[in-house]
A and B are shown apart, each in its own frame.
Chain A
Amino acid sequence: MSHPSVVTIDHRSAPRTLFSGDQLVDVDLPTGTRVIYPKPPIAPLKDVNAAIRYAINHPHNSEPLYAKLRPGMKVTIAIDDISLPLPPMKRPDVRELVLTIVLDLLSDHGVDDVEMIIATSVHRRMTGPEVRHVVGDKIFNAYWPKKLYNHDGEDAANMTYVGTTELGEEVELNKRAVDSDLVIYVNLNFVPMDGGHKSVAVGLCGYRSLKAHHNPRVMRACHSYMDPGSSALATSVERMGRVANAKLNVFTIETTINNRMFDRPLEFLAKNEDELTSAEKTSLRALRFTLSKLPQPARQAIFQRVPSPYGVTGVFAGETEATHVHTLKRAYEQYLVPVVGQADILITGIPFISPYNVNSFLNPLLVQVMANGYLFNLYKGVPMVKKGGTMIILHPCTDQFDNEHHAPYIEFVHRLLPETRDAMELHKRFEGKFASNPAYIEMYRSGHAYHPAHPFFMWYWGEAGRQHLGRMIVVGADNEYIPKLMGWETARTMDEALRMAKTTAPPKPEILALHCPPTLMTEMSVSSPRLSGPPDSLRG
């Protein structure tokens, strides 16, 4: 029997409502399609502050935080950036709650030399209002910008070489953190690829360290970014994190949240369409109509500017690896939906947001990373779609970029992709030059642009999906140029896309559809449900 979050479409089923960027689209899916919904949100902790205090006083494989403190010591607190969660969390963000308790504790123990670093790695710098949203008014007013600031991976004077792993991966980290007597990392775990050694070893590093694992060779060896045990990326980061932790005194605080992405008026977006009440059906129709009439910036504002009412489901602290085991367990508890049998065709909408376009537009390269990277990888076990199978996505693929945040992306998409889509060639011929482009570096350092190596990382991020999938078909693209650049086919409707996909699929193909957001993950096992049923030839 399948999990309640797996709904099989029959002839009475209502159309499914999927995201296509910041629009909602109704699609009629063929009978027999299995639609995977997110699990209902786990009940949040009743007293988050008590849970934080308990976690730091009863840490995993570490002495309590208070026992690590002594007057006059130098402490650096590193904080996850705005790429998590999506959309940003309603205030107070759980990081504010953790920081408030930790800062009070430091003050009580006579620790005055405290600096807080937003662990942006090569992401864009967060703006003042964004930092304020995460840390709260009190902390922001007291510390920003001198004692609370963004990491700068290109500030050579403030980066320190820490060591090299047995496989030659160089670990270079933020000097302030390396020179500190204690580093406290405050994490918010949104998906299972977050946290653990990634926090310090990636969040506080620069290009020199990132290129050890953000490259086509490592990405091709990843068999789900969301399953650290099967991810060459996670394994590399773990090796580098161990080198870092051997030198730094790291105390990790990780938090998990549930998947309550939509607040009450939009909660129905996570529900099975067959179970919507009349009022919810009316609201859905009204929302769809409104979105279809609004200009794009207004649609973006509706979804991105409204913070999500995520509930905190766990707080764990202590030594990095021991802590992360508990975090992963809680994250999987929320996200994992067991699914038996891979699909020949996987259908998914691409929503309006990714970790890299908070407060900006989801540009074509990010559509690619959402499809081939994130959504393809939302599995543990085996991929949702069989090797050589087809993925159908819904997105307009508009040729639009944020000139500031994604400046280097534009050149990557419009100058490099027309030359080659081969990740290895892009890596060898162009990445070095891009990564050392002084204009883009200055935009990263003093503006709010992603590092010039980031678009390459985004392309490599899609590498595992590209290597596995046979075809990618886009439904609803508003142009032919961008899908062609990405190596994708286009279809005007879902019916047309399915007809195209079936030409290279076996007869009566298995079809899976993802109904996200909110976030979900599949726990895939390979055995086909057909094995337990009658053979195809005996079916009606």
Chain B
Amino acid sequence: MAASYFDVDGTLVTTNLVHPTLFYLQNQPTPLHTAAKLGRALLKAPWMALAELRDRRLFNELLFSSFEGMSEDRLLLLAEETFTKVMKPKLYAGARDLVQTSLDKGHEVILVSGALDFLMVLLKEHLGATGIIANRLEIHDRYATGKLLRPVVAGPEKARLIREHARASGHDLDECFAYSDSYSDVPMLSVVGHPAAVNPDRKLTQLAEAYHWPIIHLAA
């Protein structure tokens, strides 16, 4: 059996990691908490912009540090609403078809995302996917510390995690598929035998054309 590994943000949904994070920050227990959280996030914005340019992993760590102090209960409580209001409406129309075709052909479908696991579980269930590789917040005494558990799912680390998953599941990577929209996911695309670019950015388009990778355009 082969596996299909899907990046999520920009590939299956039009949103990115910031959108659900903002929804969480806007929905704090009190308006004061919300203002404080948003203010702190705003202060970090320039650093995040810089990190986004240099290192995806650092960007993820800075972004998710905004969750510091949130209770585990609240994170899970808001997950359903965040998914329904932020992610589900932004799912590409053809994403479900693409995932379903992979399932129909007997593939294991794994969502590989820098997003947080409790959101990815909901997307996995919604799409009928079989597994997730996602980021996990560190929880201490039922409160988020603002740190991510290792390994942080981003950039080249995605490729290593996919290799590990394939080995553990008995998949031949040459027979596996990977889908992404972003040039930052070239490592992940390069480890499988069947990479494909989905709504790719300019740099990934150039690369996909040069290497004759399939380019899929999913309608929003």
Do A438 and B215 have beta carbons less than 8 Å apart?
no
A1 within 8 A of B: no
Interface SS majority for chain A = helix
Given A154-B101, A156-B104, A446-B94, A440-B219 contact (CB < 8 Å): no
Do A446 and B217 have beta carbons less than 8 Å apart?
yes
Residues of B within 8 A of A440 (CB): 214
Inter-chain residue pair count (beta carbon < 8 A) = 55
Residues of A within 8 A of B219 (CB): 446
Interface SS majority for chain B = mixed
Q: Identify the closest chain A residue to B106 (Cβ).
A: A436
Residues of B within 8 A of A403 (CB): 209, 212, 215
A313 to chain B, nearest CB (A): 41
Do A442 and B216 have beta carbons less than 8 Å apart?
yes
Given A438-B107, A441-B101, A411-B212 contact (CB < 8 Å): yes
The 8 Å CB contact of A439, one of B175, B209, B214, B217, is: B214
Residues of A within 8 A of B97 (CB): 442, 445-446
Do A439 and B104 have beta carbons less than 8 Å apart?
no
Query: In the bound complex, how far is the Cα of B196 from the Cα of A207, in angstroms?
Result: 22
Residues of B within 8 A of A446 (CB): 94, 97, 216-219
Interface residues of B toward A: which range? 20 to 34
A31 within 8 A of B: no
**What's the tally of chain A residues with a CB closer than 8 Å to chain B?**
23
Residues of B within 8 A of A441 (CB): 101
Q: Identify the closest chain B residue to A436 (Cβ).
A: B105
Name the interface residues of B98-125: CB closer than 8 Å to any CB of A: 98, 101-102, 104-105, 107
Query: In the bound complex, how far is the Cα of B212 from the Cα of A449, in angstroms?
Result: 13
Do B217 and A447 have beta carbons less than 8 Å apart?
yes
Residues of B within 8 A of A433 (CB): 175
B179 within 8 A of A: yes
Do A438 and B218 have beta carbons less than 8 Å apart?
no
Q: Identify the closest chain B residue to A441 (Cβ).
A: B101
Residues of A within 8 A of B107 (CB): 438
Do B215 and A404 have beta carbons less than 8 Å apart?
yes
Query: In the bound complex, how far is the Cα of B196 from the Cα of A499, in angstroms?
Result: 47
Do A447 and B212 have beta carbons less than 8 Å apart?
no
Do A437 and B194 have beta carbons less than 8 Å apart?
yes
A454 to chain B, nearest CB (A): 14
A407 within 8 A of B: yes
Do B101 and A401 have beta carbons less than 8 Å apart?
no
B60 within 8 A of A: no
Do B98 and A442 have beta carbons less than 8 Å apart?
yes
Name the interface residues of A401-417: CB closer than 8 Å to any CB of B: 401, 403-404, 407-408, 410-411, 414
A-B interface, 3 closest residue pairs, ranked by CB to CB distance from nearest: A439-B196, A410-B212, A438-B101
**Interface set of B (CB-CB < 8 Å, partner A):** 4, 94, 97-98, 101-102, 104-105, 107, 175, 177, 179, 194, 196, 209, 212, 214-219
Query: Can you list 7 A-B pairs, Cβ within 8 angstroms, ordered by A?
Result: A401-B212, A438-B102, A438-B107, A439-B194, A442-B94, A442-B98, A449-B214
**Interface set of A (CB-CB < 8 Å, partner B):** 154, 156, 401, 403-404, 407-408, 410-411, 414, 433, 436-443, 445-447, 449
